[in-house]
Chain A
């Protein structure tokens, strides 16, 4: 069966040309970049080339980039570095809709004596700026809020958030894992101190990422040991992954405009047609300010996992904020923070497109989904009428 992959916010396909570039660094040029011999040592240049490629995607200088094992490590590194570098400051701020890679770190610190403010969002998932302004004070070590939300695609006004943080002397970190490669990510423009990104969300290999550390920012490494990454991240460099990530970043930057010209129209078509074909549907997120590839919809009276399983039968991959899919018993914390009513939170489905998504694939979903919804609603005790 042909797979229709609409779960690109979860992960993406590693591009064949990326894989091809990586291959020789497993088999032929496997030397350690820290070695004195030319065989290993020349891999240094390869790493530096990739660093420049990643820097270009973020519009930063190459020296401001360190390679990590992924978005999660970047998030941890940034937050722990900030609190460790300013030990007298005992307050951190984040938002209620962050990825667990940020939220759990903040909660960990909160359980170890830090004051934590978790800023809420409105029904469209928009950041509560007033609450944020009140929470900020001179004791704030770091503010960490994501650039774009993985579940709804909602984009935060991070430039403004960063400016307010700096005015109080706090550092600002943004998790740009979902934004990178989908919308322009100019870290100079937003003036962040830390920005984390992940390779597997931009068609690079998994287990790879980068952290941008603004020139002059106080920094403490998260991984200690060898002298790699200019003493900022110990561990023998994962050369094949670094090569792949660098190349994926370069390709992502080249193709960025396609998210507006190709992906967004397809997403909008999917949204429009589903709204037309299916009653009792609600869009989750800030439709005016959203990633071009993400569509999060709730279908009343039915539960998300059931929808996903029927979609899966047709080869369509998507995801859901329903409790049942995650193994936890509560629906998505993002939707709950937005005040999405329980019944709609349980019936939420996220479609996330890539630049490889085709019109034909979208038309298939538009064709099959109304039937699936009707079939499940026929079983549901809540659907009135029908």
Chain B
């Protein structure tokens, strides 16, 4: 059960401005049946003042999708196109009190549909389907989300993790194969925020001192291997390094697991070989 605010429930049960405006001045659409939510907005615009005199919606989706659309029509009505185009997904969520994290994409959809409807008006009224900027790279194939949309969401909502991005844009929510790409985008954004020391020229692993080697191995363990093992309830620690023999100890769930030998060889060993040196061998303490 979701924790919906009374505002969300009210707009869901008594949606305002439902329907289609005949001979609308602008029509914007976003989403599809496949995604599980879709919104169609039609607007009537005063040609002189550019005030949105009427706005109606139709929505396919969950309670928060319907509520987001409904509250959006209330917010946009009476505003000029310029004012209306400044409505963000955060404004929509705020107007509803709040939305559950995992439902934030519903408010994003509202913002996008309005953007499309305004564009449609500017282009003479022909319906416009919201599209991600063409030149932007497609990141999530499952939900058709581009880099630009993800970047926008990250900046507007101060997102920090892949999970956040999924909640706001859906990207990464299905097959998950784009999660790596999303993480890279996040890394770039976060790197801009926190100026990082310039990377030193990379020395081959074999040329490192023993302390540097251990640091390098621990780095790979921490960034590549531990997160994976943590998901299975386990962890790993570095015990020793002797020549090319890396001795590790599996902890928690991994220690008890019968598949641990395979984890060591296939996953830990391979990752270290790929990231550092192909001659490395992994042993259990």
**What residues of chain A have their CB less than 8 Å away from a CB belonging to chain B?**
80, 83-84, 87, 108-109, 111-114, 301-303, 305-306, 309-310, 313, 322-325, 327-331, 342-343, 346, 378-382
Contacts and interface: CB of A to CB of B under 8 A. Distances in A.
A1 B77 CA distance: 38
Nearest to A84: B258
25 contacts: A80-B258, A83-B258, A112-B262, A112-B263, A112-B266, A113-B266, A114-B259, A303-B37, A306-B12, A310-B13, A322-B62, A324-B36, A324-B65, A324-B103, A329-B174, A330-B174, A343-B33, A346-B33, A379-B18, A379-B66, A380-B58, A380-B59, A380-B60, A381-B40, A382-B33
Interface in B1-16: 12-13, 15
B191 interface: no
B63 A309 contact: yes
B170 interface: yes
Contacts of A306: 12, 61-63, 66
Nearest to B41: A381
Contacts, number: 86
Q: Is the interface of B mostly helix, strand, loop or mixed?
A: mixed
Contacts of A324: 36-37, 61-62, 64-65, 103
Given A303-B62, A343-B33, A381 B173 contact: no
Contacts of A381: 29, 38-40, 58-60
Contacts of B37: 303, 324
B268 to A, nearest CB: 12
B102 interface: yes
Closest 6 CB pairs of A and B: A329-B173, A112-B259, A113-B262, A324-B62, A381-B58, A305-B62
Contacts of A302: 60
B258 A382 contact: no
B173 A328 contact: yes
Contact of A342 (B33, B40, B232, B262): B33
Contacts of A378: 18
Interface string B69-89: 000000000000000000000
B130 interface: no
Nearest to B33: A343
Given A108-B232, A343-B34, A381-B38, 20 more contacts: A112-B257, A112-B259, A112-B263, A112-B266, A114-B259, A302-B60, A303-B36, A305-B63, A306-B61, A324-B36, A327-B102, A328-B173, A329-B36, A329-B166, A330-B173, A343-B33, A346-B36, A380-B59, A381-B29, A381-B58
Nearest to B59: A379
Contacts of A323: 36
B143 interface: yes
A112 B229 CA distance: 11
Most buried by A among B174, B259, B260: B259
B258 A342 contact: no
A301 B38 CA distance: 10
Contacts of B61: 303, 306, 324
Nearest to B9: A309
Nearest to B228: A111
Contacts of B258: 80, 83-84, 87
Nearest to B143: A329
Nearest to A331: B36
Contact of A379 (B33, B58, B166, B266): B58
Contacts of A343: 33-34
Contacts of B263: 112-113
Interface in B237-285: 257-260, 262-263, 266
A309 B59 contact: no
Given A329-B166, A381-B29, A322 B60 contact: no
Contacts of B12: 306, 309
Interface string B40-68: 10000000000000000011111111100
A109 B36 contact: no
A268 B166 CA distance: 40
B38 A382 contact: yes
Given A303-B62, A381-B29, A381-B60, A322 B266 contact: no
A306 B33 CA distance: 15
Contacts of A342: 33-34, 36
Contacts of B39: 381
Contacts of B102: 327
Contacts of B262: 112-113
